[in-house]
């Protein structure tokens, strides 16, 4: 893992593991990242969506006992040929900090690469950005991990964490253990 330290002037430097630096992860920013809590057929605190471009609407997802940890996970069934399907959660702006490094991750099980994307969506200068990290596709449980450097000029009230399944992708996709925390490096 890359350890990151933020200097007071906003620049980032890599800390050398084993050379007096230890990464710590603070407060969890996502609610119900374990997908253990469900309300009316949906994972609590998450919005299940499907669509493309500007046309998104509510979608159905399923609870599955095929969890990596705990009792349940989310099953993203194959969707329509031209529609993404997935989960999204707005991040509490009171927890959001700009000019820091976020550690986004989710455990994913899918039959092929590029089938699932972990996305952080935010507004900067009036424009929405949605960079992503993709599942590598081993067919087994795999962590999609992303250290994302939050731009200093990003709007803290605009952040969303998304886990989306690509349109027309075959087979079962299961998601569990989603997490978003800020990386803090402790120098000793």
* pLDDT given for residue 185 in this prediction: 59
Is the pLDDT at 11 greater than 50? The verdict is no
CB 47 within 8 A of CB 88: yes
Is position 161 within any domain? Answer: yes
Residue 115 in domain: yes
More confident position, 185 or 176: 176
CB 82 within 8 A of CB 167: yes
CATH of the domain at 51: 2.60.120.260
157, 91 contact by CB (below 8 A): no
pLDDT at 153: 94
pLDDT at 171: 83
Per the domain annotation, does 106 fall within a domain? yes
Write out the two tokens for 150: 């939050």
Instruction: Compute CA distances 61 → 101, 174, 182, whole Å.
Output: 30, 10, 28
Within-domain flag for 21: no
70 part of a folded domain: yes
181 belongs to a structural domain: yes
Total domains, the chain: 1
Q: Mean pLDDT over residues 36-55, rounded?
A: 91
- Distance between CA atoms of residues 25 and 1, nearest Å: 13
Domain that holds residue 151: 26-187
pLDDT band of residue 29 (cuts 50, 70, 90) is very high
The tokens for 186 are 């402790």
Q: Examine residue 143 and state whether it is found in any structural domain, yes or no.
A: yes
**Is pLDDT above 90 for 169?**
no
Does a structural domain hold residue 9?
no
Beta bridge partner(s), residue 162: 88, 119
For residues 77 and 62, the answer to whether their CB atoms sit within 8 Å is yes
d(CA 25, CA 180): 9
């Amino acid at each position: 893992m890359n350890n990151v330290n933020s200097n007071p002037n906003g620049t980032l430097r890599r800390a050398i593991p084993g050379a007096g630096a230890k990464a710590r992860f603070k407060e969890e920013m996502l609610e119900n990242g374990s997908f253990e809590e469900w309300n009316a057929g949906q994972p609590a605190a998450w919005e299940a969506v499907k669509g493309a471009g500007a046309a998104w609407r509510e979608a159905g997802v399923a609870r599955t006992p095929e969890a990596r940890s705990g009792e349940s996970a989310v099953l993203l069934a194959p969707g329509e040929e031209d529609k993404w399907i997935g989960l999204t959660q707005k991040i509490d702006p009171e927890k959001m900090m700009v000019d820091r490094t976020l550690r986004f991750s989710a455990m994913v099980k899918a039959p092929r690469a590029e089938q699932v994307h972990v996305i952080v969506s935010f507004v900067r200068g009036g424009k929405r950005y949605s960079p992503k990290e993709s599942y590598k596709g081993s067919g087994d449980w795999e962590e999609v991990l992303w250290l994302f450097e939050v731009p200093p000029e990003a709007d803290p009230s605009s952040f969303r964490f998304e886990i989306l399944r690509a349109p027309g992708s075959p087979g079962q996709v299961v998601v569990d253990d989603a997490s978003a925390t800020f990386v803090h490096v402790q120098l000793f």
